[in-house]
Chain A
């Protein structure tokens, strides 16, 4: 089966523009995660969905960041009024994890590299 896919792979936005980043998880994966990876750093958690429910958004850096997964499959991360500090790679991951066991591995997509000019 296909892995996690993300689009677009690259996005250049002018400061102040809104952007939308899409994630298609592995079919059947209940859980979906978004991470932000700055250059030379490890990924940092943004938000977590279990099916369509957003269970944790504690990592979203500001109220300009918004994520949704309305049907429990595809997810979109939206950034409003982009700022230069938003420039990073945004990674999506999915896993089989559901209720109970939290230790399933996460499978990552190729990421979207966002550059805000």
Chain B
């Protein structure tokens, strides 16, 4: 079974604040893949990052960073110095090696106010 939990339904911040989106997952697979996607108001899901279960290195890409911790089954996403254009729904997703489907969390709606 695969499960992704994004406990934060909505977050609202003011521009330039840092914000962390939480993601907790469950899987029986020892090899699995984690993803973050952004869904802006236009509706199209935009791929942000993939992380393999055997690679626990954290990653930074500009203002975005990801913290993968197998010990707590978490894959959190931090936006530093948020901007209005970051406003979107963000989805965390999981795919176990033995699964054909990618399981998405319910999403976190981030609103960044000017």
Contacts and interface: CB of A to CB of B under 8 A. Distances in A.
Interface in B45-103: 45-47, 50, 52, 91, 93, 95, 97, 99-103
Contact of A44 (B43, B47, B104): B104
A65 interface: no
B44 A110 contact: yes
A57 B104 CA distance: 17
Contacts of A66: none
A43 interface: yes
B100 A105 contact: no
A89 B107 CA distance: 15
Contact of A111 (B33, B43, B93): B43
Nearest to B44: A110
Nearest to B6: A42
Interface string A39-59: 011111100100000011011
A103 B33 contact: yes
A45 B107 contact: no
A25 interface: no
Contacts of B99: 102
B45 A33 contact: no
Contacts of B91: 42-43
Interface of A: 33, 40-45, 48, 55-56, 58-59, 89, 91, 93, 102-111
Interface of B: 4, 33, 35, 37, 42-47, 50, 52, 91, 93, 95, 97, 99-107
